[in-house]
Amino acid sequence: MLKLYYGDVGALDPWAAWEGFSAYRLERLSGVKSDRARRQGIGAELLLLEALKREGEGLCLPPDIGRDPGGKPFLRFPGLYFSLAHSESLSVCALADSPLGADVQKRRKMNPALVRRFFSQAEQRFLLDEERGDDAFSMIWSLKEAFLKADGLGLRRPLSSFCVIPDAAGELPPGFWHECKGDFHMALFLPGRSSAKPDLIKEITLL
- Can you state the percent helix, strand and coil of the chain, rounding each to 5? 35, 25, 45
**Domain extent at residue 128:** 2-203
Whose CA is closest to 106, among 1, 9, 35?
Answer: 9
Residue 26 is inside which H or E element, if any? helix 23-30
Q: How many domains does the chain contain in total?
A: 1
Phi, psi dihedrals of residue 74, rounded to the nearest 5°:
-150, 155
Bridge partners, 51 (sequence order): none
- In the chain, the N- to C-terminal Cα span, in Å, equals 27
pTM of the full structure:
0.94
Per the CB < 8 A criterion, the answer to whether 141 and 162 are in contact is no
Print pLDDT tens along the chain (207 aa): 999 999 999 999 999 999 999 999 999 999 999 999 999 999 999 999 999 999 988 999 999 999 988 888 999 999 999 999 999 999 999 999 999 999 999 999 999 999 999 999 999 999 998 778 999 999 999 999 999 999 776 657 788 999 999 998 999 999 999 999 999 999 999 999 998 899 999 999 998
CATH of the domain at 112: 3.90.470.20
